[in-house]
Amino acid sequence: MLLIFILPAYIANSTPVIFGGGTPMDFGRKAWDRKRCLGDGKTWRGFIAGIAMGTLAGAAIAGLLGNNFYVWLGFLLSFGALAGDAIGSFVKRRLSMTRGSPMFAIDQLPFFFFALAFASPLYLPSIEGIVFLALLSYLLHVVTNFAANRLGLKRVPW
């Protein structure tokens, strides 16, 4: 059941790799430190596509389980996952890290923890479930990003 719960966040987080591109979310603007807010890797098309696909996953789960609760949960998990990913990019830009530079944990986990935070008004797994999903999310992120790089979908394997 934990995997069904987190599936919309996973789908939302991976969708921009396929459907991203276009206008950057920060519109090329710089923050107070004269560095880009998010960079070219975070685009409106990827953000909206990720939320849409994650919400559709939630709708599919709702249809299978006969519970519309999962549509809302899918939306919240998706929005949170992409917000967390954007915040990770924001942090990396503040640290003068360029797009594609690896940063342990910041590359793999903000999407997960923000997804949980956004979904928490509706549902939150047990502490054991959160630990399990955090470890799984880290490992899946590493493996799927490596595979996406090998398939030519991503420039870097992280």
| AA letter at 154 | K
What is the structure's pLDDT at 155?
80
Q: What is the reported pLDDT for 111?
A: 95
Residue 157 located in a structural domain: no
- Predicted local confidence at residue 100, as pLDDT: 77
Residue 140 covered by a domain? yes
pLDDT for 49: 98
pLDDT (tens, 9 = 90+) of the chain, 158 residues, equals 899 999 999 999 999 989 989 999 999 999 999 999 999 999 999 999 999 999 999 999 999 999 999 999 999 999 999 999 999 999 999 999 887 787 888 888 999 999 999 999 999 999 999 999 999 999 998 898 889 889 888 887 77
The total domain count for the chain is 1
Residue range of the domain that includes 53? 2-150
Please enumerate, as own/partner, the contacts of 59-65 that have beta carbons within 8 Å and a separation of 24 or more.
61/4, 61/7, 61/8
Two tokens at 80? 């949170």
Give the pLDDT of residue 106: 84
Nearest CA-CA partner of 43 in 30, 25, 29: 25
Decide if 121 is inside a domain.
yes
From residue 51, how far is each of 11, 58, 152 by CA, in Å? 9, 10, 23
User: Closest by alpha carbon to 116, among 78, 74, 77?
Assistant: 77
- Residue 131: its pLDDT value, please? 97
Residue 155 domain-assigned (yes or no): no
Structure confidence at residue 115 (pLDDT) = 98
| Inside any domain, residue 71 | yes
Q: Please check whether residue 52 lies inside any domain of the structure.
A: yes
The answer to whether residue 143 sits within a structural domain is yes
Could you tell me the two tokens for 57? Answer: 């996953």
Q: What pLDDT does 156 receive? A: 79
Q: What is the pLDDT of residue 145?
A: 82
The answer to whether residue 156 is domain-embedded is no
